[in-house]
Structure 1
Amino acid sequence: MAHPPQSVVRNRLLKAFPPEDFARIAPHLESTDLPMQEPLIRSGVAVEHLYFPEDGICSITASGSDGRVEVGMIGREGVVGVVPVLTGGGQVPHDHFVQVPGLAHRIGTGPLCAAIEESDPLRRLLLRYLQVEVVQVRQTAFANASFTIEARLARWLLMCHDRLDGDDVLIKHEFLGMMLGVQRSGVTLALQNLEGAGRIRSRRGCITVLDRTLLEALAEGSYGVPEAEYARLIEGV
């Protein structure tokens, strides 16, 4: 089956590929489902495929004695698995799994590495994307250390909202607590506060964004830095 042309793919990073580089990798792209909780990259395991999400969200998590915490998020703005490919590390110490189901374009590491070797513009584009990922991780650490649970929740919901169609974020409260690294009771209280202020509507398994502007005001400086970096480095070139 022929791969869809670059003009109709929804992944923003693929859209930013130089046309000749997209044509180079297109025969190696295959459409694949991203089921809920599907592991895409496992900690300490060699990366064999990379994923360009069309929709859905992938979480990058770090694990410890108290469970796991989200340290990164990838949706249709990016690609899952690029760090060990670009650095030559082969594997990473963090799990990457599907947080919100969707679809993706999958490619083997071999064909993508070959394309990178053949194209300096493609290498530079993916290195710029790598910088965005690094900025996001650092901003997450800053947010977790400096902001209230409500502000961190607002930031997380805004990041999800950026990557999804519509205003509904399908997620269980206990899973959200794990992603934010807080107790479920803290998440429940934060959700109640955001709902009481008219920012969201919270139901079992679903959070609906009602007022994005109010969420941005609550998130303050915890949100927006990686997003601006993406616009500058990827969409501004």
Structure 2
Amino acid sequence: MLHKHDPNQNFLLAALLDAEFNRLSPHLELVSLKLGNVLAESASKTDYLYFPTTAIISLHYLLENGGSSEIAGVGNEGVLGISLFMGGDTTPSRAVVQTGGFGYRIPARILMEEFDRAGPVMRLLLRYTQALITQMSQTAVCNRHHSVEQQLCRWLLLTLDRLGPAELTMTQELISNMLGVRREGVTEAAGRLQASGFISYRRGHITVTSRVGLERNVCECYGVVKKEFARLLSDTRNRQPPAMAGRPA
């Protein structure tokens, strides 16, 4: 049984082989990630990579007019800081904690030493990066071609996959910032989902009452992202079964 906080709650850390995990684990530091914490600013370098366990980190692109939109999310399936091992050092996105919780951070220097061994860690992280790029691409397509209601279903399902519980602490203002749409659009979309019996919304809390309903209503983008994570990462050998609600199937 896993302890309350355990690195194996992160899918990537759980997928490491014993030798690699034993080299990295002494350098993993449990950190509390509070809602709204900024972990990385656009165009800035970071000294750490973050492996969320019970938190979700949102990657935002900030516009010159002050607007923003989420381009991807990172939960217990991934890692924040791919620019470090992709050779870019910085990224144009801003990383903000969307859902408070915990995670593990590791000094960039330590992980890069392991990455440069050109072994299992490098292959695992590159495969995750490909899956993350798919999520970014599909988010762009979804925001352009699908309704706010479908986008909201996609966002709710991805959040559930990472967190597990059916009740989410989310304001409509936060969701509108994530999707890059007007708050009124989110209000209308949430109202339709509530009228259909798929969710219940009150005072910043969204309770999913019918996941099946959300899955029937969502566009294909959710399935594309989920299948790509499964295709790229499901055949990795887990040292220990990670406690993931939304582990790729």
Structure 2 distance, partners of 1:37, 1:205, is 15
Q: State the match for 1:178 in structure 2.
A: 177
Local SS of the residue matching 2:206: strand
Cα shift readout 1:2-42 (whole Å, capped 9, x = no counterpart) = xx8xx862111111112211111101100000011001111
SS of the residue aligned with 1:50? strand
Alpha-carbon distance in 2 for matches of 1:198, 1:178:
24
What's the counterpart of residue 246 of structure 2?
Answer: none
- Alpha-carbon shift at residue 66 of structure 1 (Å): 4.9
The superposition leaves residues 69-108 of structure 1 with CA deviations (integer Å, 9 ceiling, x where unpaired) of 11100100001112x1121111111100101000001101
Residues 7 and 104 of structure 2 are in contact (CA less than 8 Å); yes or no, is this contact kept in structure 1? no
The CA distance in 2 between the partners of 1:69 and 1:39, in whole Å, is 15
Is 1:40 aligned with 2:36?
A: no
C-alpha separation in 2, matches of 1:144 and 1:18: 38
Offset of residue 186 of structure 1 = 0.8
**Matched-pair contact (CA < 8 Å) for 1:151–1:222:** no
Deviation, 1:222, is 2.0
Q: Which has the higher contact order (CA 8 A, sep 6+)?
A: 2
SS in 1 for 2:219: helix
Aligned 8 A contact 1:147 1:222 in 2: no
Which position in structure 2 is the counterpart of 1:103?
Answer: 102
Equivalence for 1:71: 71
Contact 2:7 2:13 in 1 (8 A): no
Aligned length: 232
Alpha-carbon deviations, 1:163-207, whole Å to 9, x = none?
A: 113111111111111111111111101000000001101111111
Q: Secondary structure at the match of 1:141?
A: helix
Partner of 2:163: 164
Structure 1: distance between partners of 2:7 and 2:27: 17
Task: Report the CA distance between 1:61 and its aligned residue.
Answer: 0.3
Aligned-pair CA distance for 1:44: 1.1
Within the alignment, does 1:149 sit opposite 2:181 as a pair?
A: no
Q: Counterparts in 2 of 1:1-237, with a 5 A limit? A: 9-64=8-63, 65-82=65-82, 84-237=83-236
Residue identity opposite 2:78 in structure 1: G
2:241 corresponds to which residue?
none
Taking structure 1 as reference, are residues 196 and 153 closer, same or farther at Cα in structure 2, changes over 3 Å only? same
* Structure 1 residue 212, shift from structure 2 partner: 0.8
Q: Give the letter aligned to residue 180 of structure 1.
A: L
For 1:56 and 1:196, how far apart are their aligned partners in 2? 29
Q: Percent identity?
A: 37
Distance 1:222 1:88 in 2: 29
Distance in 1, matches of 2:37 and 2:163, equals 18
Q: For residue 119 of structure 1, report the CA deviation from its aligned partner.
A: 4.3
| Unaligned residue ranges in structure 2 (runs of 5+) | 237-249
Contact 2:27 2:106 in 1 (8 A): yes
TM-score by length of 1: 0.94
Q: Is the 8 A contact 2:42 2:90 kept in 1?
A: yes
Aligned letter for 2:77? E
Q: State the alpha-carbon separation in 2 of the partners of residues 130 and 18 from structure 1.
A: 19
8 Å CA contact retained: 1:55, 1:76: yes
Q: Provide the secondary structure at the position in 2 that maps to 1:186.
A: helix
Unaligned runs of 5+ in 1: none
CA RMSD of aligned residues (A): 1.5
Q: Tell me the SS of whatever aligns to 1:224.
A: helix
Change (3 A) 1:66 1:41: closer
